[in-house]
Amino acid sequence: MSSHSLWTLTHCFFWQKGGDRQQPPPLIGRFGTSLKIGIAGLPNVGKSTFFNILTKSQVAAENFPFCTIDPNESRVPIPDERYDFLCQFHKPVSKVPAFLNVVDIAGLVKGAHAGQGLGNAFLSHISARDGIFHMTCVF
């Protein structure tokens, strides 16, 4: 969807019976081909290991808390058979597949809102994402 058609869609008025105008419902989320998701959870539950498997990366995943201090980020293509079919059928000049930006965030500790652990840095890493994958360890 082009930016012009998006603008037209969000700024036009819909006509109802009787001639009353009504604005369309607001669009939720954001349009794009690269959503950002953060992997969050307590220290030492396997966030970095899951990140390595999901992104085919080799970041450090050790058996001690706070092995991850700075967030690790990787871009993962999202395979879609429907997109591949449309590209084969229409033969576009360029192809822009969907991507998922995955971020391995340091462990959440009690009192992070008060500055414990990474504190506000952790909270800023979380708030900059479109979604959160909460990793838990069940015994």
Is the pTM of the predicted complex or chain greater than 0.85?
Answer: no
* Domain residue ranges of the chain, discontinuous segments joined by +: 29-135
Q: How far is CA 107 from the centre of its chain?
A: 18
Q: pLDDT tens digits, residue range 93-112?
A: 998 888 888 888 877 767 66
Closest CA to 110 of 119, 101, 102: 119
Q: What is the mean pLDDT of residues 76-103?
A: 89
CATH entry 3.40.50.300 includes domain 29-135: yes
Q: What is the mean pLDDT of residues 64-82?
A: 80
